Amino acid sequence: MAEAVRYQTPALDALESRFRRLSSLHGALGVLGWDRNVMMPSGGGEVRAEQSATLSVMAHEMLTAPEVSDLLAAAADEAASGDRAVNLAEMRRQHAHATAVPSDLVEALSRAASASEAKWRLARAKSDFALVRAELTEVVRLTRQEAAAKSEALGTSPYEALLDQYEPGGSLPTINALFSVLEAELPPILEAVLDRQSRLPAPQAPEGPFPVAAQRALSRQVMEILGFDFDHGRLDETLHPFCGGVPDDVRVTTRFSEDGFVSGIMGVIHETGHALYERGLPPEWRNQPAGDARGMVLHESQSLLMEMQASRTPEFLSFLSGIARTAFGGDGAAWEPESLQRLYAHVERGFIRVEADEITYPLHVILRFRLEQALLSGDLQVADLPGAWNELHTKLLGVTPPDDVRGCLQDIHWYDGAIGYFPTYTMGAMAAAQLFQAALRGDPGILSAIGRGDFTGLLAWLRPNVHQRASLASTDEILIAATGAPLGTDSFLAHLKRRYLPE
């Protein structure tokens, strides 16, 4: 039998080699960013900004070098179909983003974001927006330039050009349609839930203090139960929880308060969902665009699936109440599963997004979505942000933030240069509801296993249906294949009614 012909793909080979090196640079930037937030001494900010800016420029120049355009053109005939063709398409998308923005603007944005993020920490500690106003103004000014350049290159609106960095192919009409449904449906659900709660005794919270060391140990135990591999990751503490690093070295961070363990443990579960997605990406596509996470909608779906869908079920909360009682030496009615279930299902009109319940959380996101569009367009000036934030917060959530730290200073995103990111949180919540329901249909034993502290069945379903698909398909293609439908509000709203308004 004649040996099969192996077609030569020199241009595609060269591109894959370049993107492999580019991935390493981005990975190094990710670890440096983790270090800045977790371990770097306060005096290291200036040199870290220099390091990050230098690596950012190197990565940008590697992607925008003149020969890359030639290689992309030549590779078109080498990868007509299949996964390598998908990888090539992702290369083109990244190249289009990069070539739209000159290196000097990339460097200026990196420096401005580093300076703004550092000043945000001080402003947040003092609850004084004025301390970071100038730095954020510069970030917004430069981001407008970036959005304008990318908008022209990609043929989209300026906001969609930024959104595409976080959710490839994301569109304003789609988001506005989804969010319009939520804006109409959530307020009456919220009113009904609050009315139902008012007729029940207040949930009894376990009494602290809850030592941070005990919370840390419990968190590690829960992470291992979820499937986290500590040989390829770690848990640390920081001001604003996040998941960073790279798939083979995943860095999870959280924050603890000795006043309560509810927020800390769920924050850990949330970030572990992100980490499991990263670890589950296909090794054979490691360091290639097609092997990256699809986008932040699916990334957020994985964190919210673990935190909100799976870990707030009565089954898991029954299990969690037992190990939490052991961890903190608790005793009494407040530690019973039913009490913990009511505590985790409590709904209120609050100020802090990361502590919000499932019903009010989308309203927090819609607020940020509206404001960041206004900042980008120039309809809202940075100096007016605190007032605009408080006004819209009052309209959407019915309460007014009493200070900046519970208002426009609570999130790091804008101060770190991430504008266009916020819609993915709530879109991720909707995707999480769709995926979890599909997983339960696919394996009805998942819930009972979760009640025993066994997430292997859920993870076994997520690996082939979401994690291993990486960027080899679009978000909707992945959702349709896994759940039978594109992203929508139906599963999410049905989930809220089942959990918070049981008949």
- Tens-digit pLDDT profile for residues 477-499: 999 999 999 999 999 999 999 99
Same domain, 123 and 218: no
328 and 406 share one domain: yes
Yes or no: say if 153 and 100 are a contact pair by the CB < 8 Å rule.
yes
d(CA 91, CA 386) in angstroms, rounded, equals: 39
User: Under a CB-based contact definition with an 8 Å cutoff, are residues 146 and 109 in contact?
Assistant: yes
- Does residue 1 have a pLDDT over 50? no
Q: Clarify whether residues 258 and 309 are in a common domain.
A: yes
Instruction: State the average pLDDT over residues 220-224.
Output: 98
Is residue 4 in some structural domain? no
pLDDT by residue (tens digit) across 135-188? 999 999 999 999 999 999 999 999 999 999 999 999 999 999 999 999 999 999
Is residue 27 domain-resident?
Answer: yes
Over residues 52-65, mean pLDDT: 92
- Amino acid identity at 16: E
Amino acid at 460: A
Active site residue 271: yes
| Strand, coil or helix: 313 | coil
Same domain, 207 and 254: yes
Is residue 1 a part of any domain in this protein? no
pLDDT at site 7: 67
- Given a cut of 50, whether residue 5 has pLDDT beyond it is no
Q: Do 302 and 207 reside in the same domain of the chain?
A: yes
Determine the average pLDDT of the residues in 39-66. Answer: 91
Last residue of a domain, one of 124, 148, 168: 168
Say if residue 247 is in the same domain as residue 285: yes
Handedness of CA 278, 281, 285, 289 (dihedral sign): negative
User: Which residues make beta-bridge pairs with 233?
Assistant: 250
According to the model, what pLDDT value does residue 57 have?
Answer: 86
Q: How far apart are CA 248 and CA 280, in angstroms?
A: 10
* Spatial contact of 52 and 32, defined as CB atoms under 8 Å apart: yes
Separation between Cα atoms, residue 117 and residue 113, nearest integer Å: 6
Which of 95, 90, 75 minimizes the C-alpha distance to 474?
Answer: 90
Which pLDDT score is estimated for 77? 84
| Whether residue 345 is found in the same domain as residue 268 | yes
Instruction: Specify whether 123 is located in the same domain as 161.
Output: yes
Q: Is residue 357 part of a domain?
A: yes
Average pLDDT, the chain: 94
Looking at 227-360, list the stretches that DSSP marks H as alpha helix, in order from N- to C-terminal side: 262-280, 296-304, 314-328, 337-344
**In terms of domains, do 336 and 298 share one?**
yes
Of the three residues 151, 168, 185, the one that is the final residue of a domain is 168
Measured CA to CA, the distance from residue 340 to residue 350 in angstroms comes to: 20
Whether residue 436 has pLDDT greater than 60: yes
90 and 180 part of one domain: no
Q: Is 2 part of any domain?
A: no
Side chain identity at residue 441, one-letter code: R
- The residue annotated as part of the active site, out of 271, 278, 358, 372, is 271
Same domain, 161 and 189: no
CATH code for the domain of 272: 1.10.1370.30
pLDDT tens-place string over residues 82-131: 999 999 999 999 999 999 998 899 889 989 999 999 999 999 999 999 99
| pLDDT level of residue 4 (50, 70, 90 thresholds) | very low
Given 168, 196, 224, the domain boundary residue is: 168
Q: What radius of gyration do the chain's Cα atoms show?
A: 23
In which domain, by residue range, is 452 found?
174-500
Residue that has been written with the tokens 């950012």 in this structure:
56
pLDDT the model gives residue 229: 97
The verdict on whether omega for the bond into residue 401 sits within 30 degrees of 0, i.e. cis, is no
283-339 pLDDT, tens digit per residue, is 999 999 999 999 999 999 999 999 999 999 999 999 999 999 999 999 999 999 998
In the chain, the number of structural domains is 2
Cα(152)–Cα(155) distance, integer angstroms: 5
Residue whose token pair is 């640390």: 236
Check whether residue 322 and residue 445 sit in a common domain: yes
